[in-house]
A and B are shown apart, each in its own frame.
Chain A
């Protein structure tokens, strides 16, 4: 579709962020090299430009960080909750103050549009710290009995899709409840966690309370399996989640897992089409679809299939893909070459299995990792693109005739993280929401998050909840 208007470039300035050429591990309040001196590079996915070189943690560094966290635990857990709260409030405020810098940094390191880091990630990060700060001195009233105790050292491993937000989801409740933390960010997005280390320093957080280890999966595994870790929190793939569940069997470690999803977005024939289309787009193209709770399976009532698909295609043709720092960009870069290869392979499988592939006319930049918004129609439940989590901007469209069929198809998945319902009929929303085996159900909206609202999955999407009062439980000895 020809554009009616040309957009002039509107890039956000990079000058607000100062990335050092190299970073160390943050252990016991100091930046330090890895014990074996290993480093790795982190690149900007939209340009493949090397942003910085960071230390690559190994088992010895994990041990050092856990020791530092253990040492810090005694005093940190003994602090009055009101004092812990004030540290967290300080952190929340500093994040607010530095939010533009952090948004630009996150966009550079992750590849997602500045519109998202600026308007979604960063406000949610600050809000999450602000929310859990308030819990620190109110734990007696949280419903877990009087004086609930922290667990000890929390080993936390987070993914690359929302680097700083996942850090906030992990660290804020851990610290509020009196635990200390060793956190490993994903190898493709280490920078915002390292900037967070600097925020801890600015906030005057006692040494060793937060330790950041950049590195690969081996460091994550060493952290999870470390005998002196009391709590394991992981967000990432279901395969790794299962490996973690096995590795901690027979120990006393408490674990929460936020894993994969294949969310069904169900559109009934009475839904407001334009709003539903916006919701579908938000559901699967937000963050390039690299979202565990993405609405990656569109279930459309048969009678409105053609009308809805026409509207959806028209809308997809107006999405702007390109420079993530441009304020008009809707679709940014895929996070890594590896992820791009995975998305490409799964989309090719969808085509090979007979689903009908469509993408809007869309020019991809020559450098970086890019994938055009893609839609598969004529998809059956047996198709790989209807079953496997793609974790990319790929939507599979299926149809249904009755609400029962919609529910059956929606629940026909190993996953159970999110679902969407679009209908004007209130009783149908509640009836369908009741039947869906999913931890988060968005009705006439999608991909909404809030620190007060528990998030987490059924079935193989993991267990435990993050956010809200529920999010405290995973960090308390209750």
Chain B
């Protein structure tokens, strides 16, 4: 079968994932993405300020439905993402290997960890409320309950080096609790992130919950950090200078800011801090009334 050995493969046009659709950058711009040895891999969209704004609109539109979904439902969908990823494991092993210059076995370990991370957060959706909320024993006849609620639209500057496990580790905790996200993928290795969009699109995740942009964090970041309809920003993948610039811009509407955290190993137990960073606490009071001096007669 000489035909198959000479068959020309079909390249994929890598596109953004915004509002559940796969647009090219409205700017028409692309940039070259290479592997660790400098070999051309693909032309990725070089997203613009307009793309970033469109992504925020999509994320805002999705927020009501996603934050209003039951925690059980969100858990089911996050688990579905893990299932879909498992089925496309080989593709991601190849893409992560090329993106990060990893051997096949090391890339496979990274992809497995990323799949397991979705499972971890799938299980958290209906437990975090009990961990961080609860009844408060106030000194008076009042029912008083604190519950966590999602902050809203969260912008994430994804880690630059860990293009896939790092990416999953920063977006899964944000959406697990009901936030929606606009993520700027690793600039030099955006392809695994863009491919993740294809997985999300087939996982029952409502369009707009996760929006994935490729391009320069330095270009889009300032617009997202100062955007009045963005509620929070995770600076995971920003260098010190950019992180400071974005934190200053974020003060315009008092966004919640998660500063870059040193991460030695994305395989480590993620804990809960990436979830709690993007949660608000709402406390509701109501009088309990009284059944009279004798209380209940039962």
Contacts and interface: CB of A to CB of B under 8 A. Distances in A.
A22 B243 CA distance: 46
Interface in B129-150: 131-132, 134, 136-140, 142, 144, 146
A13 interface: no
Contacts of B250: 245, 249
Contacts of B248: 246, 249-250
B141 to A, nearest CB: 10
B145 to A, nearest CB: 9
B285 A448 contact: yes
Interface in B237-259: 240, 243-244, 247-248, 250-254, 256-257, 259
Contacts of B240: 250
Contacts of A259: 254
A449 B146 CA distance: 13
A470 B252 CA distance: 25
B231 interface: yes
- Interface residue tally of chain A, by bracket? 35 or more
A456 B254 CA distance: 13
B280 A458 contact: yes
A327 B287 CA distance: 27
B34 to A, nearest CB: 32
Contact of B146 (A143, A454, A462): A454
Interface of B: 131-132, 134, 136-140, 142, 144, 146, 151, 231, 240, 243-244, 247-248, 250-254, 256-257, 259, 273, 280-287
Contacts, number: 103
Contact of B243 (A238, A250, A445): A250
Nearest to B151: A458
Interface of A: 127, 143, 238, 241-243, 245-246, 249-250, 252, 257, 259, 414, 429, 433, 436, 438-445, 448, 450, 452-456, 458-460, 462-463, 465, 468-470, 478
B244 A454 contact: no
A127 B139 CA distance: 9
Give the one of B137, B281, B283 with max A CB within 10 A.
B283
A434 B286 CA distance: 14
Contact of B286 (A445, A468, A478): A445
A439 B281 contact: yes
A242 B247 contact: no
Contacts of B131: 143
A454 B256 CA distance: 18
Given A453-B144, A465-B281, A245 B137 contact: no
A436 B285 CA distance: 14
A127 B144 CA distance: 17
Given A460-B253, A470-B146, A441 B284 contact: yes
Given A450-B138, A454-B136, A470 B281 contact: yes
A81 to B, nearest CB: 21
Give the one of B132, B139, B250, B259 with max A CB within 10 A.
B139
A272 to B, nearest CB: 11
